[in-house]
A and B are shown apart, each in its own frame.
Chain A
């Protein structure tokens, strides 16, 4: 069993923009590695080089644990290196308008809740974080809210995924293993497993 994740509390980093793909989160050249350990400092490396004011460059956001993002965050490549680099950088939860599916699945399997909020609420969150980077936000997986000293908005995580965090089953290996006999039965019933002999 993995650790139960009920809430994440910490300062936030407000990353604006839609359709930010995983190539931008971690450019492909950093995928030439056999561990994830060294990825943290390379998160958004090319975006940061071209934009000195990029939020990931700003000193005041370096302690952030919650990432605020726009629409379709994490689209493109399935590389888990993307959420791994964010996690190594310090991110423990992502709050955004919407998430690409594979990125969302990878975050789930790594224990990073991704919660959706409405455009109006995201704008509020952006503004609070931008005006005071020390504000601590609570992403509450149980009550499905994002709150801070002065406000609270509703958030959305699909029920099945939310339960994996609350039950501590987001690292699915052990759970999947429990059905050992059933797995073999399903495999045996598929004619292609024995090449239709």
Chain B
């Protein structure tokens, strides 16, 4: 029987079986940021321990970074304190830090791939649930909490139980107007927000094979929204072409050796999975969430479910969602009025996302009732977008062009919804209060759909633009 990529990578990184039966897993790449690491460094200090593998640890600052002015000291003194704490920890422990001054700062899940830090066959951990993003390269990448960060800093290892693997296969060509984000939302809608608990998702099939790296990153990013702590795609020529020439990727003969190694980690043709699901790409429409978790979604041509037609726990959860969202049963998705729109985040803040949104924005105007903001995922994404003139296109259309950061995805920075504002967002979570106001409301969709809806001032179908 063949092995999955997860089997192979797990095996190569297993130091030993612990007395508890868990694996002691070596972590090949540790990414850190300002929010979840200060307490871990404090714990390390208390234990009087150094960072075991400083060369395998890379840092940036993203969650609390403002997107309007990044002048130091930051206006928010708590944010400034966190930036200072991370800077000092990195200096003390010889950890490479991509800070504001380096001009290479960005959302941690954008800069890992961008710099070529993220590579196939690695184990990658980061104190952020969207670490699943890096699985797009065929890495085993997952989010951890602060005590786990302490363990990785101190030992380069984690105590982990090996997950099962579900192959999520999607076959066929996506219809026009349907993007990677829609595929991710569709899968979560089908399997539910806790369907992936205990599993790693292997995304396979022609739909993913035909995706660019940036599209694959969007899909893997959302794995955790379906409960799967990690999701991955087997590395192929698309992966290798993306990596070639990037800063942290080997060159020449070493690159050839790397490609051979990367290929060897892919799942075998006869690999056995704990579960397999198969979907048809032609069945997927542009998706929009109407509720308070990422599985509560519908094709844009559909309508909000009516709790009266449901029973039991489902009825309760839909009714709770509709009350919070101020939507009524059977209401059309199309036409839901908007106050704010947001394009950015580790899900959809890469150059290709901005290109798609700019194409829609070009020659059009944001509706008067809408505040529309575009936040590049990294300083590098911003530079490339500016070089292509995308910032001008957005500004001319009435979008605000911001500086790199997590921005309104989680609103730990000044970018927040006010009151019960309704936001069309290219981010990953529509939880109650997620975008910074305890009563703020979020509709998740693709960047193309956000751009189209910004123009219309209400939820619009990107396929029906004038």
Contact = CB atoms under 8 A, between A and B. Distances in A.
Interface residues of B, number: 84
Interface in A25-43: 27-29, 31-36
Contacts of B136: none
Contacts of A29: 411-412, 436
Given A100-B194, A101-B229, A196-B261, A32 B15 contact: no
A99 B15 CA distance: 27
Given A169-B20, A196-B254, A110 B144 contact: no
Given A28-B411, A34-B82, A160-B161, A77 B129 contact: yes
Contact of B19 (A102, A169, A177): A169
B36 interface: yes
Interface stretch (B22-30, B97-105, B169-177): B22-30
B24 A176 contact: yes
A23 interface: yes
Interface string B81-121: 11001000000000000000000000000000000000101
B383 interface: no
A192 B248 CA distance: 11
A111 B90 CA distance: 28
A3 B254 CA distance: 48
Given A35-B39, A191-B257, A175 B159 contact: yes
A158 B161 CA distance: 10
B145 A176 contact: no
Interface stretch (B149-157, B270-278, B457-465): B149-157
A130 interface: no
Among B148, B194, B257: residue with most chain A CB under 10 A: B194
Contact of B159 (A33, A101, A176): A176
A46 B412 contact: no
Nearest to B433: A46
A46 B15 CA distance: 43
Given A78-B145, A186-B15, A196-B258, A34 B36 contact: no
A109 B261 contact: no
A50 interface: yes
Contacts of B12: 186, 189-190
Nearest to A182: B15
B47 A173 contact: yes
A138 interface: no
SS class, residues of chain A in contact with chain B? helix
B22 A160 contact: yes
A160 B21 contact: yes
A72 B193 contact: yes
Contacts of B453: none
Interface in A61-88: 71-72, 75-81, 83-84
Contacts of A183: 15, 24, 26, 52, 155-157
Contact of A160 (B20, B121, B227): B20
Interface of B: 12-16, 18-22, 24, 26, 28, 35-36, 38-39, 42, 47, 49, 52-53, 56, 63-64, 76, 78-79, 81-82, 85, 119, 121-122, 127-129, 131, 142-148, 150-151, 154-161, 193-194, 197-198, 224, 227, 229, 248, 250, 254-255, 257-258, 261, 293, 313, 317, 320, 410-412, 429, 431-434, 436, 438-439
26 contacts: A19-B293, A24-B433, A32-B79, A33-B78, A33-B82, A34-B82, A34-B85, A46-B438, A76-B431, A77-B429, A80-B145, A80-B147, A98-B194, A100-B197, A101-B198, A102-B144, A109-B148, A164-B20, A173-B150, A175-B18, A175-B19, A190-B12, A192-B28, A192-B258, A192-B261, A195-B248
